[in-house]
């Protein structure tokens, strides 16, 4: 562990930055606000000037339009009066007609100019003046039209007299009214200009106030920044002194901390090594599977169990499935999918084929973590080598289901084989035969030569029985010197008899025990399914009775249950029964030894 350098070595800039950091956002925000205010004031001033220019331009254009309409009306009134005078004074009829048409056209143009002026009127005063002008023109227009008609009819002198007497005064009144309208328009324009000037003055005052306020804010912010910087520098100097004291104390404890870290690191390393050694001894490894991220991590011991190299082989579900024995892959996938679908705990035993060709039995267990919707998210698990456990289980199972002396199936395993054979025969419609065998002359050998010689004789008998039937047939030892044969796919009584005779012939050969040739016979009773019994117990009972009948006939023979003398078999009396219904005691001259 290293203590950082002192403030003199470079911590001053970082300390300054740390202290100033909280104030920088506030100052920045204040300066931005001031800048925005200045921009707003400038923008408002510019917009105000632009609006004022637009207002002045609009006011000027409106005033020009008003004055233009009044001047046009005044010009049109004079032109009309001139056309009336020309009509009266012209002697040529053609000229009179032309002047008359021009008079009519000027009247229409005057009406349009007057209507335009009325549309431009904005104040009640202007509207009233234009209304008076409309009344005056309404009075003078008929007079002028009548004078034109009189002149065209030949009354030129009369028309001329009336022109001066009636029309000219009305024209003067109309022109005077137009001057009044023009003066009113000028007054309106002057008032609008004055009002606009007042608004501009007020806007300037507002802008001046805003500018002064902005300057005051800038001055205030400058003072605040200066005071803040002074406070920060004072605090920094104080903090620098405190940091120097702390760093001095840290340097004093640095060596002690480094020693403590070194001791703990060594202890952690030792603990890790012990844990790995314990995992190796236990044959276990750990793994985790991120289902959403499609990532799987294995401990080193998982690679060791699968015979993989962590340097070259990548962990993953497909790599795991490739290591699973081909005969187990479907079952493993099905178990994995079922656990991910429903369970919170996952467990499956299967075989693993290593890259070196070796095979191991492993047990994979995992705890499934699910999200709020119940979907699997992650699996944490362990892989354990159970090869020795499997071997022990198989050895125990073999010991529990086989005769320890001969290695043949015992009663319980024979019962399982018989039940399975019956189911197969029922499905396929085939037959099977059950043959109970008992040795003839075994007790004298056992009594005279001892149990070791008897055991050797039983091992030889078991081998001869095993060699005398098919590989698919079952040979079991169910008593001291009693054996049972299960022959599948056999329904012909002659075939069963043939098997028995072949075995009797093999047992005619003597057995050498302690350099002495000994002979034993074989008495056999057979029952055939389904004729001699529909279930296992019945078949065993009938085969046992047939074997007893063979004994009664002198031994070394095979008797079918169907060929037995029922009365003779029944007269022999009941025999002690074993778990399979087989007799455990032979004829009076025979002694049964328990198996193994």
Q: What is the pLDDT of residues 29-63, one digit of tens each?
A: 766 776 777 788 778 777 877 877 787 788 788 78
Of 336, 362, 393, which closes a domain? 393
23 located within any domain:
no
Q: Is the pLDDT of residue 233 over 70?
A: yes
My answer on whether 94 and 138 are in the same domain is yes
Helix, coil or strand: residue 349: strand
My answer on whether 386 and 412 are in the same domain is no
My answer on whether 140 and 176 are in the same domain is yes
My answer on whether 555 and 467 are in the same domain is yes
pLDDT band at residue 155 under the 50/70/90 scheme: confident
Question: Could you tell me the maximum CA-CA distance found in the chain, to the nearest angstrom?
Answer: 193
Give the model's pLDDT for residue 466: 92
Q: Is the pLDDT of residue 25 over 70?
A: no
250 located within any domain:
no
Q: Is the pLDDT of residue 246 over 50?
A: yes
Q: Is the pLDDT of residue 24 over 90?
A: no
My answer on whether 353 and 307 are in the same domain is yes
Long-range contacts of 169-172 (CB under 8 A, 24+ apart): 170/136, 170/139, 170/140, 170/143, 171/77, 171/78, 171/81, 171/140
My answer on whether 77 and 127 are in the same domain is yes
97 located within any domain:
yes
Of 140, 172, 207, which closes a domain? 207
| CATH code for the domain of 452 | 3.30.70.270
My answer on whether 188 and 84 are in the same domain is yes
Tokens of 43: 């923008």
In total, the chain counts a number of residues equal to: 596
Q: Is the pLDDT of residue 420 over 90?
A: yes
Main-chain phi, psi angles of 290, to 5 degrees: -85, 105
221 located within any domain:
no
Collect all residues with Cβ–Cβ distance below 8 Å to 545 and sequence separation of at least 6. Answer: 525, 561, 564, 569
How far apart are alpha carbons 210 and 291 in whole angstroms? Answer: 65
Q: Domain tally for the chain?
A: 3
10 located within any domain:
no
Mean per-residue pLDDT, 535-554? 93
Q: Tokens 């007054």 appear where?
A: 187
My answer on whether 334 and 432 are in the same domain is no
289-308: pLDDT as tens digits: 887 767 777 777 777 777 77
Q: Which residue has the higher pLDDT, 240 or 572?
A: 240
pTM of the model as a whole: 0.43
My answer on whether 347 and 478 are in the same domain is no
2 located within any domain:
no
Point out which residues pair with 527 in neighbouring strands. 434
My answer on whether 37 and 62 are in the same domain is yes
My answer on whether 291 and 189 are in the same domain is no
CB contact at 8 A, 188 and 150? no
* Structural domain boundaries enclosing 451: 404-571
Q: Is the pLDDT of residue 154 over 70?
A: yes
Give the model's pLDDT for residue 1: 46
Strands 482-488, 432-440: parallel, antiparallel or unpaired by DSSP?
Answer: antiparallel
Strands 521-529, 432-440: parallel, antiparallel or unpaired by DSSP?
Answer: antiparallel
How far apart are alpha carbons 21 and 110 in whole angstroms? Answer: 80
pLDDT band at residue 523 under the 50/70/90 scheme: very high
My answer on whether 312 and 425 are in the same domain is no
| CATH code for the domain of 289 | 3.30.450.20
Of 179, 207, 235, which closes a domain? 207
21 located within any domain:
no
182 located within any domain:
yes
């Amino acid at each position: 562990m290293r203590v950082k350098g002192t403030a003199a070595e470079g911590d001053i800039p970082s300390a300054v930055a740390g202290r100033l950091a909280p104030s920088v956002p506030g100052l920045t925000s204040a300066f931005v606000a001031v800048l925005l205010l200045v921009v707003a004031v400038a923008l408002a001033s510019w917009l105000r000037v632009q609006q004022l220019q637009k207002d002045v331009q609009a006011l000027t254009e409106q005033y020009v339009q008003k004055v233009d309409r009044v001047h046009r009306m005044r010009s049109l009134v004079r032109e009309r009066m001139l056309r009336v005078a020309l009509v009266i004074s012209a002697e040529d009829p053609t000229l009179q007609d032309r002047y008359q048409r021009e008079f009519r056209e000027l009247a229409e143009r005057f009406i349009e100019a007057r209507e335009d002026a009325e549309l431009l009127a904005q104040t009640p005063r202007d509207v009233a003046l234009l209304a008076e002008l409309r009344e005056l023109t309404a009075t003078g227009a008929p007079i002028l039209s009548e004078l034109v008609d009189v002149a065209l009819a030949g009354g030129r002198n009369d028309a001329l007299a009336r022109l001066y007497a009636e029309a000219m005064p009305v024209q003067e009144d109309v022109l005077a009214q137009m001057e009044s309208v023009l003066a009113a328009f000028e007054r309106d324009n002057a008032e609008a200009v004055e009002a606009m000037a007042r608004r501009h003055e007020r806007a300037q005052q507002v802008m001046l106030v805003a500018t002064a306020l902005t300057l005051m804010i800038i001055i205030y912010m400058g003072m605040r920044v200066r005071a803040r910087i002074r406070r920060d520098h004072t605090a920094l100097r104080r903090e620098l002194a405190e940091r120097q004291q702390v760093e001095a104390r840290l340097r004093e404890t640095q060596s002690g901390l480094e020693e403590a870290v070194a001791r703990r690191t060594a202890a952690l390393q030792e603990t890790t090594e012990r844990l790995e050694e314990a995992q190796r001894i236990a044959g276990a490894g750990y793994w985790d599977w991120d289902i959403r991220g499609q990532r799987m991590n294995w401990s080193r011991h998982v690679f060791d169990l699968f015979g993989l190299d962590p340097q070259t082989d990548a962990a993953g579900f497909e790599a795991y499935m490739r290591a699973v024995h081909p005969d187990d892959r479907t079952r493993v996938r099905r178990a994995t999918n079922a656990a991910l679908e429903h369970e919170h705990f996952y467990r499956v035993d299967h075989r693993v084929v290593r890259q070196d060709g070796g095979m191991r039995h492993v047990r994979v267990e995992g705890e499934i973590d699910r999200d709020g919707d119940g979907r699997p998210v992650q699996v944490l698990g362990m892989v354990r080598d159970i090869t020795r456990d499997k071997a022990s289980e198989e050895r125990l199972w073999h010991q529990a289901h086989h005769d320890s002396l001969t290695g043949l199936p015992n009663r319980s395993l024979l019962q399982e084989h018989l039940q399975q054979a019956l189911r197969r025969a029922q499905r396929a419609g085939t037959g099977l035969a059950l043959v109970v065998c008992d040795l003839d002359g075994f007790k004298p050998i056992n009594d005279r030569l001892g149990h070791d010689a008897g055991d050797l004789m039983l091992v030889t008998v078991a081998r001869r029985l095993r060699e005398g039937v098919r590989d698919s047939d079952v040979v079991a030892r169910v008593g001291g010197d009693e054996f049972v044969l299960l022959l599948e796919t056999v329904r012909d009584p002659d075939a069963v008899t043939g098997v028995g005779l072949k075995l009797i012939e093999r047992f005619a050969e003597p057995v050498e025990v302690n350099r002495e040739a000994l002979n034993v016979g074989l008495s056999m009773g057979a029952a055939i399914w389904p004729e001699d019994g529909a279930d296992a117990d019945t078949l065993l009972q009938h085969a046992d009775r047939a074997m007893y009948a063979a004994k009664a006939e002198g031994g070394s023979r095979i008797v079918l249950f169907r060929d037995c003398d029922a009365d003779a078999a029944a007269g022999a009396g009941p025999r002690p029964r074993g778990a399979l219904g087989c007799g455990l005691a032979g004829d009076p001259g025979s002694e049964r030894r328990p198996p193994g």
